Amino acid sequence: MSNLLQFSISEALFLLKKKEFSTKELVETYINAIEKTKDLNMYLTTCFDQALEQAKTSDQNYFNGNQRFLEGIPLGVKDMFCTLGIETTASSKILKKFIPTYESTVTQNLWKEGAINLGKLSCDEFAMGSSNETAAKGEVINPWNFEEKRTPGGSSGGSAAAVAAKAALAATGTDTGGSIRQPAAFCGVVGLKPTYGRCSRWGIVAFASSLDQAGPITRNVPDAALMLQVMCGYDPKDSTSSNKDVPNFYNDLGKSIKGIKIGIPEEYNSDGISSDILNAKDMTINFLKENGAEIIPVKLPLTKYSLPVYYIVAPAEASSNLARYDGVRYGARIDGNSLDEMYENTRNLGFGDEVKRRIMIGTYVLSSGYYDAYYLKAQKVRRLIKNEFTEIFKQVDYLVTPTTPTTAFKLGSTQDLLTMYLNDVFTVPASLAGIPGISLPIKLDKNKLPVGIQILGKDFDEQGLLNVANIIESCASFKDTPNGAAS
Amino acid sequence: MINTNKNSNYISGKTGDWEIVIGLEIHAQVLSSSKLFSGASTEFGKDPNHNVSLVDAAMPGMLPVINQTCIKQAIKSGIALNAEINKYSVFDRKNYFYADLPQGYQISQYKYPIVGEGSLQITDANGEDKVIGIERIHLEQDAGKSLHDQHPSKSFIDLNRTGVALMEIVSKPDLRSPEEAASYVKKIRTVLRYIETCDGNMEQGSLRADCNVSVRKPNGNLGTRCEIKNLNSIKFISQAIQYEAERQVEILENGGVIDQETRLFDTSTGETRSMRSKEDAHDYRYFPDPDLLPLELCDSQISEIRSDMPELPDQLVERLISEYGITKYDANVIAEEKEYVHYYENSAKDRDGKLVVNWMTSELFGLLKKNNIQFNQNPISPNYLNELVELIENKTISGKIAKDVFEIMFATSKSPKMIVKEKGLEQVTDDSAIEVFVDQVINENKDKVKEYLSGKDKLFGFFVGQVMKISQGKANPGLVNKILKSKLK
């Protein structure tokens, strides 16, 4: 049997069904790959014994012909998802040794359909960061030009890197302001942020509740369709989850895009944007034209307010969401002489700098006397941004933009926080508007680093988004593998 | 010294009269089997941390889901308090750290409560009707309980109460005396118990009040208020308000100023003491809870609840007056508790309502109180009270005999008809039988008859008494009168 790592989910499912290889062999291959790529620091926790145990069940199911939708597919899970009996830390010291007694809805949906958990993937602490540098257990190294020690992006850096390094067949991520799409772009994989409400947030460690959304990170677009199909769906345990029907994303791929209108927003540009990224955008436009789509330049003048709005709304919600990490009931506790002192000690040593910074920003913007000027105003602007997207989607069907202003930068190279925050400038607007977005790799830049392109669509039009992405993916034919990948 | 002038509600101080201004925030636990945002049980008295879900313990990734029963209960309460039901309301987070607040915030309603302005009619200290304005009712989560007395160096936390739904009923500052405040709380309690949205159990903490108290010169500008937290009995509410108002008057009359602060009532000393000043007040950083969508109600939802509303105490009082012809005072006594109403209506069926209400409120309540028996343990069934009154109405027994029968009923739970029959207590209504008694009395008291006939009319009562005596109370008093009169001509 040739190297099992090369197969995508759809290929693996096909071959498993044909009994070309067993689930056990597939899982063992991935366990081996994880061991080989250990230096990239992607997994925080592994659960190989459990995975091998589940592989037996999967093989049994294939043997009996009653295999489930993702039977035997080995996945990595971002450490933001609570996993039953498996340590879940959100990459934070404050949740050290926290072992949930419950499984998040999204991961439960995956396991119910036969997918297998290889382990928990590193991310920025509480998903706050764009470089994976805020992770308590150290940064993840991007498998592309791994010797240069570049960032995998963040916050789902471990997830994107693991999929790129073939240390997981696919992974789950969460996206609050670009945390799926940006690392997917940096690691040359596909990252899909569904419409807000598509996937249940139940059991996902909350960062900013009105923005957080789970989604898949995969090798290719059809795999994203397969993963999303299983991950999403109405969950009565999440009041913000949508009861919209879930289409058969995978089966309905491949529709023609002839005549569809693609908007190219002129504001998705920045001073430092590289010619490689602009070139990738032009290539994408050409692919779309060749397939009969109509390209329309559009204006989204409120784009420039997205980042400031995001950095008010997200920290505000985070400051409140993270109040529960107080050392009283679970996770780390550092004692003190009084209750207040225990809180201070626990939170001071338990949280990293970036998390503390955001809690402070969030506390400030919500405080009496500042609420109206910051939080309330930001919410109003957020509404206007949402309206701007709604209006533009009356003119065009999809928007195409670069995913990031740069390709993966070197770890430790960004000292300036504002520059770091600018990484999210193209991904944040969709998060604020709640609309779906997908990033997929188009080419390598002059440094042999992947360049990602983002497609944005209307609320709940993931199907259309996947169709367009699928066509671009075929045209781009991006087949490179990072040198840090397992083989 | 400060004297209180009960008649005017005013406190008379050295510098003249002072008016007390009171506004109440009542926290009423919503009657619901599960909590406001989790499926955990609300059962009282369980072992610590028995009724706790993952949501209540604020485990990572847990989300609140609104309990529709609690929403209905709040709407019902709003309708009962003649209040506007807001079709759009929002749940906000009230952020503060405390060990028994697992989330680090309480989910409450701040800018957009589910119920808006309403009103409640109470009886003031002079027995007059007075309408008290309701500012709003909002839903919020209760906090847990910290136990500081279980261990020398540790505090224990009980999360059973965490997340239980409360309605905060905020009055306008319309109350003017401790008595009015007590009357208001009683009335709220009665209404909520009627419509079954709160069990009103104050000892268990199902109904507690925060009292905002200030004093001013009559009709002057409002003074600075102090808030007395967490009072869980009507008696304490009155006491705390009285003490607090007097304290404020004393400060003001001595040239001091009132600091706006939160105070606690010490039930052992009857005094209030400072808990925290305005400067130390928390900045709760309210903002809409992003885990919950705004609550939107449709007209049909509200009108459905409206059409299912049970009869409210005020409506009931009106009905009791018109249907049974009883006084407003009596109707109010009956309306105080739903079980009284049920009992009264059953025992008054086809009977004279006034007679029944008298038997119930004086004889029955008296015996219950004397024997220290709860109303629900009442040994006399409404059917039997009905029967007793029937025996009086159809003159089978006299009112006097009825009292004896009633005491036997109370002791034995037996039917009055059976008691009357067994003891032969039927009234004698046979003219000839009464004539025998009358003749005997006339024969035995010839001298008194002479006196009577010579003009001493007052002796008539003596003859009646003698007839009743020898008939062992069974002779029908009307007939005795009639026959005596005809024989004593």
pLDDT tens-digit readout, A155-195: 999 999 999 999 999 999 999 999 999 999 999 999 999 99
Q: Which residues of A touch B292 (CB under 8 A)?
A: 239-240
Question: Which of B371, B393, B423 corresponds to the end of one domain?
Answer: B423
Decide if A96 touches B, using CB distance below 8 A: no
Residue A81 CB coordination number (10 Å): 28
Which of A147, A148, A86 has the alpha carbon at shortest distance from A119? A86
Q: Which residues of A touch B162 (CB under 8 A)?
A: none
- Identify each DSSP E strand in A146-260 by its residue range: 170-175, 190-193, 213-218
Residues 6+ apart with CB under 8 A from B475: B427, B428, B434, B437, B467, B468
* Predicted pLDDT at B156: 94
Q: Please report the DSSP string for A285-304 in residue order.
A: HHHHHHTTPEEEEE--TTHH
**Quick one: B407 and B483 in the same domain?**
no
Domain extent for B52: 23-221+277-303
CATH code of residue B476: 1.10.10.410
Chain-chain contact of B61 with A104 (C-beta, under 8 angstroms): yes
Q: Which residues of B touch A103 (CB under 8 A)?
A: none
What backbone torsions phi and psi does residue B22 show, to the nearest 5 degrees?
A: -130, 135
pLDDT digits (tens, 9 = 90+) for B52-84: 999 999 999 999 999 999 999 999 999 999 999
Helix B313-324 vs helix B178-194: crossing angle, to nearest 10: 80
Which one from A104, A155, A241, A431 is the annotated catalytic residue? A155
Chain-chain contact of A239 with B157 (C-beta, under 8 angstroms): no
* Predicted pLDDT at B6: 46
Longest dimension (CA), chain A: 70
Contact A209, A201 (CB under 8 A): yes
Report the C-alpha gap between A98 and A471 in whole angstroms: 43
Question: B112: distance to nearest CA of chain A, Å?
Answer: 15
Decide if A344 touches B, using CB distance below 8 A: no
Decide if A222 touches B, using CB distance below 8 A: no
- Which among B54, B99, B283 has CB closest to A339? B99
Chain centroid offset of residue A238 CA: 20
Total count of domains within chain B:
3
Q: Which amino acid is at A30?
A: Y
Burial A282-293 (b: 16+ CB within 10 A, else e): ebbbebbeebeb
Q: Which position has the token pair 């059991």?
A: A203
**Quick one: B111 and B64 in the same domain?**
yes
**Quick one: B171 and B320 in the same domain?**
no
* Predicted pLDDT at B424: 78
* Predicted pLDDT at B4: 44
Question: B264: distance to nearest CA of chain A, Å?
Answer: 22
β-sheet bridge partners, residue A471: none
**Quick one: B76 and B177 in the same domain?**
yes
Structure token digits, residue B110: 């701040």
Q: Answer yes or no: pTM beyond 0.95.
A: no
- Which among B57, B95, B98 has CB closest to A320? B95
Task: Judge whether A91 counts as a catalytic residue.
Answer: no
> Is residue A337 pLDDT above 70, yes or no?
yes
The band of A203, judged by pLDDT with boundaries at 50, 70 and 90, is very high
The band of A340, judged by pLDDT with boundaries at 50, 70 and 90, is very high
**Quick one: B416 and B445 in the same domain?**
no
* Predicted pLDDT at A467: 97
β-sheet bridge partners, residue A301: none
Q: Which residues of B touch A380 (CB under 8 A)?
A: none
Q: What is the chain B residue with the closest CA to A106?
A: B61
Q: Give the A:B interface size as CB pairs under 8 Å.
A: 100
Q: Which residues of B touch A323 (CB under 8 A)?
A: 95, 97, 103-105
**Quick one: B293 and B436 in the same domain?**
no
Structure token digits, residue A426: 């193209």
Q: What is the chain A residue with the closest CA to B157?
A: A328
Which of B278, B283, B112 has the alpha carbon at shortest distance from A366? B283
> Is residue A1 pLDDT above 60, yes or no?
no
Domain membership flag for residue B14: no
Long-range contacts, A83-89 (Cβ 8 Å, 24+): A83/A107, A83/A117, A83/A120, A86/A45, A86/A47, A86/A50, A86/A117, A86/A119, A86/A120, A87/A44, A87/A45, A87/A120, A88/A120, A88/A205, A88/B60, A89/A44, A89/A120, A89/A136
pLDDT digits (tens, 9 = 90+) for A135-148: 999 999 999 999 99
Question: B111: distance to nearest CA of chain A, Å?
Answer: 13
**Which residue ranges in chain B fall short of pLDDT 70?**
1-7
Q: What is the chain B residue with the closest CA to A323?
A: B104
Domain membership flag for residue B268: no
Helix (H) / strand (E) element for B131: namely strand B129-141
Task: Judge whether A281 counts as a catalytic residue.
Answer: no
Long-range contacts, B357-362 (Cβ 8 Å, 24+): B357/B324, B357/B326, B357/B330, B359/B385, B359/B388, B359/B389, B359/B406, B360/B334, B360/B385, B361/B330, B361/B333, B361/B334
Decide if A278 touches B, using CB distance below 8 A: no
Domain membership flag for residue B241: no
Chain-chain contact of B285 with A88 (C-beta, under 8 angstroms): no
- Which among B57, B65, B285 has CB closest to A366? B285
Domain membership flag for residue B58: yes
**Quick one: B215 and B334 in the same domain?**
no
**Quick one: B331 and B416 in the same domain?**
yes
Which one from A22, A104, A122, A179 is the annotated catalytic residue? A179
What CA–CA distances, in Å, run from B484 to B12, B440, B472? 62, 11, 17
Decide if A206 touches B, using CB distance below 8 A: yes
Chain-chain contact of A320 with B66 (C-beta, under 8 angstroms): no
**Quick one: B120 and B79 in the same domain?**
yes
Q: Which residues of A touch B102 (CB under 8 A)?
A: 324, 328-329
Chain-chain contact of B103 with A323 (C-beta, under 8 angstroms): yes
Burial B260-295 (b: 16+ CB within 10 A, else e): ebbbbbeeeeeebeeeeeeeeeeebbbbbbbbbeeb
Report the C-alpha gap between A193 and A195 in whole angstroms: 7
Cα angle B114, A213, A122 (rounded to 5 degrees) comes to: 130
Domains contained in chain A, CATH given: 7-260+460-476 (3.90.1300.10)
**Quick one: B111 and B165 in the same domain?**
yes
Average pLDDT, rounded, for chain A: 96
Task: Judge whether A338 counts as a catalytic residue.
Answer: no
Among B49, B56, B59, the strongest candidate for a mutation testing the A interface, having the largest count of A CBs within 10 A, is: B59
Domain membership flag for residue B174: yes
Question: Which of B388, B403, B423 corresponds to the end of one domain?
Answer: B423
Instruction: State ipTM.
Output: 0.96
Which of A309, A229, A318 has the alpha carbon at shortest distance from A10? A229
Report the C-alpha gap between B318 and B306 in whole angstroms: 20
The band of A302, judged by pLDDT with boundaries at 50, 70 and 90, is very high
* Predicted pLDDT at B5: 42
Helix (H) / strand (E) element for A223: namely helix A221-231
β-sheet bridge partners, residue A46: A119
- First CA to last CA distance, chain B: 70
Chain-chain contact of B63 with A239 (C-beta, under 8 angstroms): yes
* Predicted pLDDT at A429: 98
**Quick one: B291 and B315 in the same domain?**
no
Q: Which residues of B touch A83 (CB under 8 A)?
A: none
Domain membership flag for residue B367: yes
Collapsing DSSP states into helix, strand and coil, what is residue A139?
A: coil
- Which among B61, B93, B103 has CB closest to A202? B61
Domain membership flag for residue B237: no
**Quick one: B329 and B442 in the same domain?**
no
Decide if A414 touches B, using CB distance below 8 A: no
Helix (H) / strand (E) element for B94: namely strand B92-95
Question: Which of B251, B286, B303 corresponds to the end of one domain?
Answer: B303
Domain membership flag for residue B228: no
Q: Which residues of A touch B157 (CB under 8 A)?
A: 328
Q: What is the chain A residue with the closest CA to B95?
A: A320
Decide if A375 touches B, using CB distance below 8 A: yes
Among A77, A78, A368, the strongest candidate for a mutation testing the B interface, having the largest count of B CBs within 10 A, is: A368
